[in-house]
Copies of this chain bind each other. A is one copy, B any other.
Amino acid sequence: MGTTLYSRIASDLRDQIASGEFPPGSTLPAIPELMTRYDAARDTVRDAIRVLSVEGLVTPRRGIGTVVRETSPVRLEYAPIGAARTWEAQTAGEGTDKLVSAEWEQADRDVSSRLRVDIGERVIRRVRHHYQGQGIVQVHEQWIPGTLAELIAAKGGGDLADTTRGPGNIFQEADAAGRKPASTTERITARMPDPDEREALELPVGVPVLVTNRTTVDVDGQPIESSHIVSASDRVSQSFTVQLG
């Protein structure tokens, strides 16, 4: 394909991986072997391997070799929504949700536009980590209008800023407080993680994150919550089922 040596090597190896010559879990030929095979210098071979690495095909491991990744990792279903409560129940049933922080803060420009409150107004910001099996797969940042939090507390629903309470179910709590959730809008995109996200989600090189921005409003169109959700795309997919009119 490419006209340069390293891209030819990369192309060859890519084809061999695709053809099953190097199945998932196996290792590619070692760098010295590839050097002699292609009469190339070490860094040229490494350039080729790096290409495959950023494509998400292989993971080089010191002392081990260049390991071929799983082609179809088990993709855990994350959010078959249709009703927010269903979503809450299903994620809880499939994995573990951990409330990392929950505190009052003042809305900045972004939060104010999400929740349609004034800049500086008090809101609750909660951060949750979602685990599936061994590791973390999702970092969920959520904002809730202060007025709603106070309403819920007044109706005996508890303190949303209390970390020891656990994540709870904001949709049920809002409903019980008379603010019935009516619709959710999600916007999904993808990008490469920044170093913090790569570390937090334990992402290998070449794996992007799914970014979901969600806002849930009540029957009057007033926001109940807004979320910024970052998911490891090698372990999470997002599903929707929509009934058509």
Residues on A facing B (Cβ under 8 Å):
1, 11, 14, 43, 50, 54-56, 75, 77, 81-85, 171, 181-195, 205-210, 216, 233-234, 236-245
Q: List 17 A-B contacts (CB under 8 A).
A: A54-B192, A54-B206, A56-B191, A84-B244, A183-B243, A184-B242, A186-B240, A188-B237, A188-B238, A189-B237, A189-B238, A190-B190, A190-B210, A190-B233, A191-B234, A208-B208, A216-B244
Interface centre among A43, A82, A182, A236 (most CB of B within 10 A): A82
In the complex, the 4 A-B pairs of residues with the closest C-beta atoms, listed nearest first: A190-B190, A208-B208, A189-B237, A190-B233
Q: Which residues of B contact A181 (CB under 8 A)?
A: 244
Q: Which residues of B contact A43 (CB under 8 A)?
A: 43
Q: Which residues of B contact A183 (CB under 8 A)?
A: 241-244
- What is the minimal beta-carbon distance from A85 to any residue of chain B, in angstroms? 8
Q: Which residues of B contact A75 (CB under 8 A)?
A: 189
In whole angstroms, what is the CA distance A81 to B243 when docked? 10
- What is the minimal beta-carbon distance from A170 to any residue of chain B, in angstroms? 13
In whole angstroms, what is the CA distance A122 to B57 when docked? 33
In whole angstroms, what is the CA distance A210 to B82 when docked? 22
B237 touches A208 (CB 8 A): no
New contact pairs (13) apart from A183-B241, A186-B239, A188-B188, CB-CB < 8 Å: A83-B244, A85-B245, A181-B244, A182-B243, A183-B243, A184-B240, A189-B238, A190-B190, A190-B210, A191-B207, A191-B208, A216-B244, A240-B242
- What is the minimal beta-carbon distance from A54 to any residue of chain B, in angstroms? 5
A237 (CB) vs chain B CBs: closest residue: B189
A190 (CB) vs chain B CBs: closest residue: B190
Known A190-B233, A233-B208; contact A185-B241, beta-carbon cutoff 8 A: yes
- What is the minimal beta-carbon distance from A230 to any residue of chain B, in angstroms? 11
B185 touches A208 (CB 8 A): no
A184 (CB) vs chain B CBs: closest residue: B242
- What is the minimal beta-carbon distance from A45 to any residue of chain B, in angstroms? 14
Contacting residue for A192 out of B14, B206, B240, B243, CB 8 A = B206
- What is the minimal beta-carbon distance from A107 to any residue of chain B, in angstroms? 20
B244 touches A242 (CB 8 A): no
A214 (CB) vs chain B CBs: closest residue: B240
In whole angstroms, what is the CA distance A199 to B191 when docked? 18
